[in-house]
Amino acid sequence: MLFPIIMAGGHGSRLWPLSRQQHPKQFLTLLDTDWSLLQATLLRLQGLATQLPLVICHEDHRFLAAEQLRQLAQAHPQSLTAAQIMLEPMGRNTAPALAVAALYAEQTAVAMLSETGASPTVTDTDAIILALPADHAISDVPAFQAAIKAALPLAQAGKLVTFGITPTHAETGYGYLRRGAPIANTAGFVVEQFVEKPDQATADGYVADGNYDWNSGIFMMQASRYLSELARWQPEVLAACRAALAKSERDLDFIRLDVSSFAASPDISVDYGVMEHTSEAAMVALAAGWSDVGSWSALAEQLTPDAQGNTLRGDVLTEQISNSLVMAEHRLVAALGVQDLVIIETKDAVLVAHKDREQEVKQLVARLAAAGRTEHIMHRECHRPWGKFDAIDSGDRYQVKRITVNPGARLSLQLHHHRAEHWVVVSGTARVTLGDEVRLVSENQSVYIPVGQLHALENPGKLPLELIEVQSGAYLGEDDIVRFSDSYGRTERGTL
């Protein structure tokens, strides 16, 4: 049984300001398709004989993931794009994520075999996990699937398989694999060494050597084999993850890992934790147009440039520019007489960087965090399970939002200790709860919610509800929400 594990827990800070903590790159539509990177990852599994995929993501992204899976299931009802979602309460890197996935795969295989009357002990060799980062691009899906099939016999034989990419240039943003001898009668090679991201001179040497491949971060192995290696090299990770899954709870369509148990796991990657230690690492070459979309230049390489080498998106006006990436989301961006630049415009931030310095975008994000700002955390427009809101304006003691509530959706029953709210309906009809009173508020009508007033908002109609919300008060933070009931399983305190 082949279990796809979609690793969707990263933040993608090198693609700021498009990618942010609350809406990271795996959920963005960045390529020349209608699908996000997460959705594309699931779609390229079509045609492979696999079990239902497991998507592992941070609990803050659960509704983004659920909505994108719903969109896929609607467009491809006969495919395996439906998936189970497992929620990490906090990031602990890839070794723990893969540990809970391996434990889940073993349990699922046992349950499936028990239903058929077969002995569940055969799952020790039957549950194969295929770990796929949710934020990669692959242009040649048949070649990708061929490599997966070629790796399967190695995984069944007990190898911990990774996939290597033949370098096209000396890249400092990737880890490397030193390729050893071929493994007889297979498509694999022994992995002699895992190497972390090198400096430029070292990367030049790797490419000149000819025996180094980029580390794709894709893995295939027996679940039981990975767990045995984890028990040997990282027993604290395994113990914490066993407890986290054993104490997990079902919440709507999600598996919630136990918070305290998962928090006890060391924060460590699969590479550091297991692959650099094991003697059973193998590599299969992957020549499928792979990219980790880990920088703005990497993204530009996946898009179609014009005759001057420019990649342009949105409302962009250029004159005498070359080899540049310019993306405009919400307004006109004009560029004149420049080259080798990255220019990214969003509603609340603009990035201008030379391509030679794009790996340092993470340093800008760190400075935003150190300054206590929020532009690295969320976009001005934020998506919620009930719809979205756009923070139009803010100032001393006030904030203005444009709120969109999907048909049939409802915000939680809540109150605020520090702010009052005034809602003006722009289009649609709102069902508003104010204490014990429930009323309908139509277009051009308004309602006032005093500080401390219990209230709720619902769209009973068939069309989206649009309204303007004006907040006023001494504190306007998103955490000034006390929930009394919620249709989406959110905690008592939290965001809108």
Own/partner pairs, 77-81, CB within 8 angstroms, 24+ separation: 79/43, 79/46, 80/42, 80/45, 80/46, 80/50, 80/52, 80/53, 81/39, 81/42, 81/43, 81/46
How many CA atoms does the CB half-sphere of 433 hold within 13 Å?
17
C-alpha to C-alpha distances, 346 to 17, 217, 263, 339, nearest whole angstrom? 7, 30, 34, 21
User: What would the two tokens of residue 471 be?
Assistant: 């907040």
Distance CA 379, CA 251 (A): 27
Contact (CB, 8 A) for 43 and 145:
no
Q: How far apart are CA 99 and CA 237, in angstroms?
A: 8
What does the pLDDT read at residue 172? 85
Residue 246 has, within 13 A of its CA and on its CB side, a CA count of: 7
For the entire predicted model, the pTM comes to 0.86
Both tokens assigned to 129: 């996990």
Closest CA to 412 of 493, 356, 352: 493
The pLDDT score that the predictor gives to residue 344 is 97
Sign of CA dihedral 75, 76, 82, 88: negative
How many other C-beta atoms lie within 10 A of the C-beta of residue 339? 15
Asked whether the beta carbons of 168 and 287 are under 8 A apart, the reply is: no
- DSSP per-residue string spanning 205-269: HHHHHS-EEEEEEEEEEEHHHHHHHHHHH-HHHHHHHHHHHHT-EEETTEEEPPHHHHHTS----
Rounded Cα distance between 100 and 245, Å, is 6
Strands 387-395 and 398-405: antiparallel
CA-CA-CA-CA torsion sign (135, 136, 139, 140): negative
Architecture in CATH for domain 2-291:
Alpha-Beta Complex (3.90)
Q: Which residues contact 166 (CB under 8 A, 6 or more apart)?
A: 213, 214, 285, 287
Helix axis angle for 235-246 and 223-233, nearest 10°, is 130
pLDDT at 489: 66
Contacts of 455 (CB under 8 A, 6+ apart): 413, 414, 415, 421, 432, 433, 434, 435, 449
What is the Cβ-side half-sphere exposure of residue 81, based on CA atoms within 13 angstroms? Answer: 24
Class of domain 381-485: mainly beta
Nearest to 43 by CA among 84, 2, 80: 80
Give the DSSP per-residue string, 175-208. Answer: -EEEEEEEPTTSSEEEEEEEE----HHHHHHHHH
**Domain chopping of the chain, boundaries:** 2-291, 296-360, 381-485
Q: From first to last of the 496 residues of the chain, give the pLDDT tens digit.
A: 899 999 999 888 999 999 999 899 999 999 988 899 999 999 999 999 999 999 999 998 988 898 899 888 888 876 655 789 999 999 999 999 999 999 999 999 888 877 776 665 544 558 999 999 999 999 999 999 999 999 999 999 999 999 999 999 998 888 999 999 999 999 999 999 998 888 899 999 999 999 999 999 999 999 999 999 999 999 999 999 999 999 999 887 799 999 999 999 999 999 999 999 999 999 999 999 999 998 999 999 999 999 999 999 999 999 999 999 999 999 999 999 999 999 999 999 999 999 989 889 999 999 999 999 989 988 888 888 899 999 998 889 999 999 999 999 999 999 999 999 999 999 999 999 999 999 999 999 999 999 999 999 999 999 999 999 999 999 988 888 998 887 776 554 445 5
